[in-house]
Amino acid sequence: MVSEGGPERPAAVTHPDLAALVSVQLRSGDGPIPAALERGEPVDSADLLREERWPAYRALALDSGVRSSVTIPFRRSGLTVTLSLYSFRPGALEDAPHGPARALGDLAVTCLVRDRSYRAALTELDQLGAALRTRPVVDQACGIVMHVLGCDADAAFGVLRRVSQATQRKLSDVASAVVDKRGRGLERELVFLSD
């Protein structure tokens, strides 16, 4: 299960019966997964037949034939991944938090964090690309505003920004409109907005 602190917690299971075990814990807020998320350390039950915690989870697990379980949390960069293992035999998962399951969980959380960072970088790259594509038009519009108002570049950019905010239009759209009209008919409006 993956958690980023929000209400959504996507989970993947390897057997259809296990989906209900995850669901009952998330619905009730009681079970090994919520306990592992709260504590930040592995939570196990060596024998669910003798377990007294988590009654709803315990009943469903025993009904599914599960006798023992362990949930291991992995936290990194604001992301928490829990790996839950189940066994049909009691005491079968005692060493699970220290073996291959730990390596698998570490790998999963590392890959998810890298994927999230990669997607954020792609979004930023798209935004920077859009800014670079619109920059020449904004520069042209600033030149027109500078000519009409007799002001410097910073003041001209400030006027364009105020028009953008006042009309709730993108700065690049405002700049395109100024360039298309070559400043004609905008003198009075630009003087008003420069004050």
pLDDT of 72-99, one tens digit each? 999 888 888 889 999 999 988 888 888 8
| pLDDT for residue 191 | 63
For 5, residues 6+ apart whose C-beta sits below 8 A from its C-beta are 78
Alpha carbon distance 134, 128 (integer Å): 10
| pLDDT for residue 6 | 63
| pLDDT for residue 193 | 59
| pLDDT for residue 190 | 65
Alpha carbon distance 131, 158 (integer Å): 17
Count CB neighbours of 144 within 10 A.
20
Six token digits for residue 165: 């905010």
Q: By CB neighbour count within 10 A (0-12 exposed, 13-18 middle, 19+ buried), where does 193 fall?
A: middle
Low-confidence ranges of the chain (pLDDT < 70): 1, 3-8, 185-195
| pLDDT for residue 194 | 60
